Chains A and B, each alone.
Chain A
């Protein structure tokens, strides 16, 4: 009896799965013709869901604009969005699904480097181009020649903050407090340490936390005992707000510094007033008056009712770069598309000119922002250019004025004001900043 049941069950399941395969095959055959299929994977329900939501919004806005102006190659772009819950293993699974089941022609995602690193090998193996909008760990694009990004990488981002600490905040000693579970945080900590030491500073304490830690006071008390001038906390918004709060409760009022992982509307709710006297490196400033940026900010606000953070801006750029590459490739063939993405040169994005280099990374300037809890927003401090990039002045490191600088970048105008040397300290850029505002 049992045997018969087993046999019947087996046969049914074989028939059923065959039917499914058949169905899937048909669908792709009919569908790939009229749209360009683009997969998006993002954390929409996990601990960094604010990142995923911004990314999804940015991509949707870009695709809407592209489709409204006639699409690319005469076709509309169709998005397939998957939630990876912020977990690397889930990221891998959903990207497999996007590629094998939804038959996407390109993949956009993730924000967190750890998740991008988990998913990249899948895209690489299937030879489907993947563009990460905002994963900054260098290892992400090292996975293979189909993996790209439209943001700068950690060695640059970490160095920016090391320079800012040493030159603008006049810090002699620093402590590092990193997230042990994140490739992003580990990468930034290592670079910051190296660069800060190179600039004559001393790292007096290195502590780390896990995202699940119930409190951070243990580590912070240990850091307090070494009395550093600044603390570098390259983490994500879910933890850094609390860290700032608990640090202030322990009477530690020195500047805290971080990276683009801090940028989220939720940060202000978690950190509140404790976020005074903190600085982060970021990809763009929504307050930049350049018309292109302001148009984007307006369109985003109209559609989603919130100010776009830098992750939304990068996501928007990643979709635009993809559309531009599709145009240049003249087809959605993955091989040709890959080559076209690799040849992206001086693409005019919201987050600056995007040129993809030989390592498939974007070479771009970073901005340093001061956090201002009173308006739940940022004060622009300065723009720092990567070495070898054609910055508007001979001095590639420090410029004091935002709008001038950005305008000069796009129009090529030179302005004597921008020759402020490395010695222009925090005071100086503060006054310039308030003038610009």
Chain B
């Protein structure tokens, strides 16, 4: 029983990260109908930004709450700026062309980010400093939860609540919903759509960066290609939940995280080796596309943000 609970904790931890990244995919898709393949790499950029902040501001040597908060928000801001720059420099000039053009641009952007970081930082994995003192809390029996895991849960939930607030209670949120509903009509009604789109990219990138810092606390190894697979899985999570749908992205992330961890833990009893964890995420994607193309919570009439 404790093993099962432990696996569930492990799965939900990694699932929360998928959820945070999936939010960025889903928001951008909701507004532009664009799969931003560079989003996983923004996650990586966030982790590196956190790394540089922690090293240069001196938080690496002495773990403290303040250090963690500064690094978290600092990297979110840096990633938000980079996300908006990507939108301005790469996506906006091609926005008027077909969706295929933007998609290819996104793939190019992803490769660009990955290899520019290989050039700058080299591909060798770097150790991310510990920002908070690490502790283990025993839940019951053998099931334990670590500080970094708790952090992932708490921060993810807070960020998701914050996102809900921005989207449904603020003016810019209303504008985002309007743009996602119909870009041209929103424009005609006087909404500054360029700004709204840039804001959406910034918001999504900030969430991805938060994911990057949180993952780096949990698995303190960062490298330029770290966003590749995690980004793909977050994309699967967004599709699973219904792309364009925000609660769907969260649900999809948690489900994918739990599913792959349970495959690792129990798959071998039914003949699935633990290395099939990645295959499972993509098998789920195929099943969803076959059975419920709109995703678990998605539908064509629901409002998309």
Contacts and interface: CB of A to CB of B under 8 A. Distances in A.
Given A242-B220, A249-B144, A221 B6 contact: yes
A361 to B, nearest CB: 29
A269 B127 contact: yes
Contacts of A221: 3, 6-7, 10, 265
Interface in B10-25: 10-11, 13-14, 17
Interface in A18-61: 44-50
B230 interface: yes
A151 to B, nearest CB: 22
Contacts of A209: 274-275
B253 to A, nearest CB: 12
Interface string B215-232: 100111101011011100
Interface string B122-136: 111111000000101
A276 interface: no
B264 interface: yes
B14 A214 contact: yes
A294 to B, nearest CB: 28
Interface in A212-233: 212-219, 221-222, 224-225
B124 A50 contact: yes
A376 interface: no
Contact of B274 (A218, A238, A245): A218
A234 to B, nearest CB: 15
Interface string A5-28: 000000000000000000000000
A266 interface: yes
A249 B134 contact: yes
A259 interface: no
B7 A249 contact: no
Nearest to A243: B219
B144 to A, nearest CB: 6
Contacts of B41: none
| Majority DSSP secondary structure for residues of B touching A | helix
Contacts of B277: 210, 213, 218
Question: Which of B118, B125, B260, B266 gathers most chain A CB within 10 Å?
Answer: B125
A111 to B, nearest CB: 13
A86 B123 contact: yes
Interface in B223-263: 223, 225-226, 228-230, 260-261
Nearest to A179: B275
B265 A215 contact: no
Interface in B109-167: 118, 122-127, 134, 136, 142, 144, 146
A239 B122 CA distance: 17
A218 B264 contact: yes
B136 A208 contact: no
Given A217-B10, A224-B142, A251-B136, A212 B127 contact: no
A250 B230 CA distance: 23
B125 to A, nearest CB: 4
Contacts of A250: 6, 144
Contact of B122 (A45, A224, A245, A251): A45
A158 interface: no
A266 B218 CA distance: 18
A168 interface: no
A266 B14 contact: no
Given A180-B275, A208-B273, A212-B228, A47 B223 contact: yes
A249 B136 contact: yes
A47 B124 contact: yes
A222 B265 contact: yes
A249 B146 contact: yes
A179 to B, nearest CB: 10
A208 B277 CA distance: 10
Nearest to B278: A210
A117 to B, nearest CB: 20
Contacts of B124: 45-50, 238, 266
Given A45-B118, A222-B265, A242-B221, A215 B10 contact: yes
A48 B124 CA distance: 6
Contact of B125 (A207, A215, A245, A270): A270
Contacts of B123: 45-47, 49, 85-86
Contacts of A217: 6, 10, 13, 261
22 contacts: A49-B122, A49-B124, A85-B118, A208-B275, A212-B225, A214-B215, A215-B10, A217-B13, A218-B11, A218-B261, A218-B265, A219-B274, A221-B7, A238-B125, A241-B127, A242-B219, A245-B220, A250-B6, A266-B126, A269-B127, A270-B220, A270-B221
Interface of B: 3, 6-7, 10-11, 13-14, 17, 118, 122-127, 134, 136, 142, 144, 146, 215, 218-221, 223, 225-226, 228-230, 260-261, 264-266, 268, 273-275, 277-278
The 10 closest A-B pairs by CB, nearest first: A218-B264, A49-B124, A269-B127, A217-B10, A218-B261, A238-B125, A180-B275, A46-B123, A225-B3, A212-B229
Given A49-B124, A215-B218, A219-B264, 19 more contacts: A45-B123, A47-B225, A207-B274, A210-B278, A212-B278, A213-B277, A214-B17, A214-B219, A216-B219, A217-B13, A221-B3, A222-B7, A224-B3, A238-B125, A239-B221, A249-B144, A250-B6, A269-B126, A270-B221
